[in-house]
Amino acid sequence: MVKRLRELIPKPRSRFIKVKCPECGNEQITFNKAATKVYCNVCGTLLAEPSGGKILLKGGLIEELS
């Protein structure tokens, strides 16, 4: 019964991602479907912009987190 319920519950298609700033090298975590612009916490460089779905990365993607 429990196994059957797990099959009915969909897995999320969105994830958190770790992004590296191209200017200062700072690494920070953001949502891959962010609704606002994401700026570096250290130098203020634009790292990602919303695009109506997934974000457009300006920095480098390091890894996707579960």
Which pLDDT value is given to residue 65? 83
Rg of the chain over all Cα atoms, to the nearest angstrom? 15
Residue 12 lies in a domain: no
pTM metric for this prediction: 0.75
Residue 25 lies in a domain: yes
**The domain containing residue 51 runs over which residues?**
18-65
Tokens for 35, please give them.
């609704």
Which pLDDT value is given to residue 30? 92
Which CATH number goes with the domain that contains 26? 2.20.25.100
List CB contacts of 46: < 8 A, sequence separation 6 or more. Answer: 37, 38, 39, 40, 58
Over its length of 66 residues, how does the chain's per-residue pLDDT go in tens digits?
Answer: 566 766 787 888 889 999 999 999 999 999 999 899 999 999 999 999 999 888 999 888 888 887
Number of domains in the chain: 1
Identify which of 36, 41, 46, 48 has the alpha carbon closest to the alpha carbon of residue 26.
Answer: 41
Which pLDDT value is given to residue 29? 93
Which pLDDT value is given to residue 11? 80
Residue 24 lies in a domain: yes
DSSP state for residue 29 in the 8-state scheme: E
